[in-house]
Chain A
Amino acid sequence: MSSSAIVLRGARKRFGEIVAVAGIDLDVPAGTCLGLLGPNGAGKSTTMRLLTAQAIADAGEIEVLGHRLPEESKAARARCGVVPQLDNLDYELTTRENLEVFARLYRVPRPERRDAVDRALEIANLTARAGSVVDELSGGMRRRLLLARGLVHRPELLLLDEPTVGLDPQVRAELWSLIDTLRSEGVTILMSTHYIEEAERLADEVAIMSAGRIVARGRPAELVAEHVGREAIEVYGPPVLLAEAEERAAAGGFATRRSGPALAVLGTERSENGSLPEGHPRSANLEDAFVLLTGAEVE
C-alpha cells in the first residue's frame, strides 16, 4: 500500500495582486525525497509555508500526514520537522538551549528530553559545541543546528526550505550527506531548492516550479530524457558566432539555451546530418531541462 505524506490539490495563494501559488497538485509519497526545484520567486517558499499553515491557502485542499490543513495543522506540525531558509535560531542561547526549547515545543516527554537533545547534537556533529552561544558558531554550524532543531523529535516528515543556500561547498556536501542519511532511514523529505545539483543528488523525484505552477514532475533522468533528449552540443565563441549558431539550430528545429559565454544546442542525438553547428558534445542534464521549462538561468 502506498500512501502520501503530503497531498496538495488545487492549492492557490495570492498576496494582493501577486499570485504566489497558482493552483498546484502535488503528492509526496511516504519515504521518498521530493525536490521542489524552481527559480527565485517561483512560489517554493510559499508552498512550504502552506504546509505548516504559516500561510493559509485561498483555495484547494492540503493534507499533511493525513491531517487536513489548516484545521488540523498543529497535529501535523507535531510530526514534521522544519528547516527554514533564513536562520532564525535564538542567537543569545546556547546550542543545547535552542534544542531544549524545541524538544519541549515538540512535546518530547520530559524523561526522554535529554537523550533527544544529545541525539540531535550528535546528528549535527555539534556535541562539542553544546555549551556555545549560537552567536559564536560558524555559518555551517548554525545551519547544522537548524537541521538538528527540526529533528529533535524524530519527525516522519522533513520540510527543508533551501537547506544549503549561501553555504560553501564543503559545508554543503556535509549537509547533503546528513540529509541522505535521513532519507535512507525512511524519513519523507520535501526540499525546495534552486540548486540543480542538490536536487539531482538528493531527490528521488523533482517537481519543477515556475511562476506558481508545477510545470514538470519526475525522476531527474526521466525529465531530462523527456524534455531535452540525450545529448547536447556546447558552442563557444564571440556573440556573433553564437547568434549564427542559434539561428541555425532553430532552423533545424533544435532547442537552444544560452549560458554565459556559451550556447547549448539541445537534443542533438536527433540530428541525421551535419546541420548542427560545430561544438563540444556532452550529455543533456537536468539544468537543460530546468532552463527549457522555466525560462530561467540558474546558479
Chain B
Amino acid sequence: MSSPSAPSAGRMGPPVRMRRLEPAAIGAVLSRELAVFRRYWRSTTFSSVVEPTIFLLAFGFGFGALVSRVAGYDYIDFVGTGIVATAVLFSSVFPGLFSTFIKRRFQRTYDALLAAPIDVEELVTAEVVWLALRAGVYGMTPLLVAMLFGLDPSAGMALVPFIGFLTGFGFAAFGVLISAIAKAIDNFNYVTSSVITPLFLVAGTFFPIDALPGWASTLAQINPLHHCVELVRDAVFGFQPLADLAHVAVLVIFGLLMWRLAIWRLRLRLID
C-alpha cells in the first residue's frame, strides 16, 4: 500500500479526453428518446391534432360568432395562429414535468445513464433539445388545422417550427426544473394552476393583451409565451423586424436561464 498522499492507480490505456457537452453523449440520449417515441407517437400525435381542433371549433365558432375581427385580424386567424403557442407550451412543459420525473424517480433511467460517460449537463441538454424538436413539429399542427378553417398559407409559416423550437426549449427546461424541485408528482398541481394556466391564458392567444388592465398587460409582457404568440403571428402575417428581434431575444434569454437552472436543480437531485 502506498502512502495516503500518493494514490498508485496506474493508467491502463490511453488517457481519454472528455469535453463538456459532447455531441456523442447528447446524440445517444436523443436516440433513446427517438426509440421510445416510435412506440407512442400515435397517441401523442392524436392529441396534438385533436386539441387545437377543439380549441378552434370552440373559440372560432363559439366566440367568433360574437366577434368577427380582433386586433385587425379575422378572429379565426387570430386564434389559429395564437394556438400554435399553446401547442408548443403543452408539448414541451408537460413532458418536461412528467416524463422527466418518471424517468428519474420510477424508472431510474437517469441513474443508468449517469453511470455511463455522460454528465447531468449533457443529459438535461439532450432531454430539452428533444422536447424542443417535438414542440417545433407539433407547433405546426394548429396552423394546418386553421388552414382547413380558412387561414391562408404564407411563406413565413416555414419559420414557425423554429419559433416553436426556441419557445419549447425554454418551457421544456422549465418543466425539467420544476420536476427536479418537486418531491412528488402531486406538487405539479401548484405549478400547473398558478403558473402554466395563467401563462397560457394571458399570452394574447385568445384575446389581445392590451385589452387587459395596465398591471395585467405589463405582466403579460414578461410572459415568454406572449412573445411566441407575437412572433408566430408576425411570421404568418408579416414581420416587424425590430419588435420581432426583441421577441426572439426574450425567448433566448428565457431558454438559457431555464436551461442552466434545470441543470443546477437536477444535478442536486441526481448526484449525492
A39: shortest Cβ distance to chain B, in Å? 21
Interface of B is mostly: loop
A105 lies within 8 A of B9 (CB) = no
Residues of B within 8 Å of A67, CB to CB, are: 15
From B26-34, B44-52, B182-190, give the one contacting chain A.
B26-34
Considering the complex, give the chain B residue whose CB is closest to the CB of A83: B115
Considering the complex, give the chain A residue whose CB is closest to the CB of B270: A54
Report if B271 contacts A (CB, 8 A). yes
Residues of A within 8 Å of B27, CB to CB, are: 104
A16: shortest Cβ distance to chain B, in Å? 11
Report if B240 contacts A (CB, 8 A). no
Residues of B within 8 Å of A86, CB to CB, are: 108, 111
A3 lies within 8 A of B24 (CB) = no
A49 lies within 8 A of B4 (CB) = no
Chain A interface residue count, CB cutoff 8 Å, equals 53
A98-112 toward B: CB 8 Å interface, digit per residue (1/0)?
001110111100000
Report if B71 contacts A (CB, 8 A). no
Which residues of B42-92 have CB atoms within 8 Å of chain A's CB atoms? none
Report if A7 contacts B (CB, 8 A). yes
Residues of B within 8 Å of A53, CB to CB, are: 271
- In angstroms, Cα B115 to Cα A3, docked, is 24
Chain B interface residue count, CB cutoff 8 Å, equals 39
The answer, among A66, A75, A77, A91, for a CB contact under 8 Å with B116, is A77
A190: shortest Cβ distance to chain B, in Å? 13
Which residues of A86-103 have CB atoms within 8 Å of chain B's CB atoms? 86, 88-93, 97, 100-102
- In angstroms, Cα B99 to Cα A90, docked, is 13
Residues of B within 8 Å of A9, CB to CB, are: 4-5, 7
The answer, among B10, B31, B114, for a CB contact under 8 Å with A52, is B114
A156 lies within 8 A of B13 (CB) = yes
A91 lies within 8 A of B9 (CB) = no
B115 lies within 8 A of A84 (CB) = yes
B113-133 toward A: CB 8 Å interface, digit per residue (1/0)?
111111100000000000000
Report if B181 contacts A (CB, 8 A). no
Report if B1 contacts A (CB, 8 A). yes
Which residues of A65-86 have CB atoms within 8 Å of chain B's CB atoms? 65-67, 72, 74-75, 77-80, 82, 84, 86
A66 lies within 8 A of B10 (CB) = yes
Residues of B within 8 Å of A4, CB to CB, are: 7-10
B95-119 toward A: CB 8 Å interface, digit per residue (1/0)?
0000000000001110111111111
A30 lies within 8 A of B113 (CB) = no
Which residues of A1-48 have CB atoms within 8 Å of chain B's CB atoms? 1, 3-7, 9-10, 13, 15, 25, 27, 30, 46
The answer, among A10, A66, A77, for a CB contact under 8 Å with B9, is A66
B39 lies within 8 A of A92 (CB) = yes
Residues of B within 8 Å of A92, CB to CB, are: 36, 39
A53-68 toward B: CB 8 Å interface, digit per residue (1/0)?
1111000010111110
A75 lies within 8 A of B107 (CB) = no
Report if B12 contacts A (CB, 8 A). yes
A101 lies within 8 A of B117 (CB) = no
B18 lies within 8 A of A25 (CB) = no
Residues of B within 8 Å of A5, CB to CB, are: 9, 12
- In angstroms, Cα B12 to Cα A134, docked, is 35
A105 lies within 8 A of B111 (CB) = no
Known: A54-B115, A101-B31. A78 touches B11 (CB 8 A): no
Considering the complex, give the chain A residue whose CB is closest to the CB of B110: A88
Residues of B within 8 Å of A7, CB to CB, are: 7-9
Residues of A within 8 Å of B107, CB to CB, are: 88, 90-91
A3 lies within 8 A of B10 (CB) = yes
Residues of B within 8 Å of A30, CB to CB, are: 10, 12
A287: shortest Cβ distance to chain B, in Å? 27
- In angstroms, Cα B38 to Cα A93, docked, is 10
A111: shortest Cβ distance to chain B, in Å? 15
A149: shortest Cβ distance to chain B, in Å? 8
The answer, among A27, A78, A93, for a CB contact under 8 Å with B35, is A93
The answer, among B25, B109, B111, for a CB contact under 8 Å with A54, is B111
A103: shortest Cβ distance to chain B, in Å? 8
Which residues of A174-200 have CB atoms within 8 Å of chain B's CB atoms? none
Q: Given known contacts A25-B1, A66-B10, A75-B17, what 16 new A-B pairs fall within 8 Å (CB)? A: A7-B9, A25-B4, A27-B1, A52-B115, A63-B7, A63-B9, A65-B13, A74-B117, A82-B116, A86-B111, A88-B107, A90-B36, A90-B107, A92-B39, A104-B28, A106-B117
Give A contacts to B, CB under 8 Å: 1, 3-7, 9-10, 13, 15, 25, 27, 30, 46, 49, 52-56, 61, 63-67, 72, 74-75, 77-80, 82, 84, 86, 88-93, 97, 100-102, 104-107, 149, 156, 159
Task: Give 20 pairs: A residue, B residue, CB < 8 Å, sorted on A.
Answer: A1-B10, A9-B4, A49-B272, A61-B4, A63-B7, A65-B13, A66-B15, A67-B15, A74-B118, A75-B16, A77-B115, A90-B32, A100-B31, A101-B32, A102-B116, A104-B27, A105-B25, A106-B117, A107-B24, A156-B12
Closest CB pairs A-B (n = 8): A3-B10, A66-B11, A104-B28, A88-B108, A55-B272, A82-B115, A63-B9, A88-B112
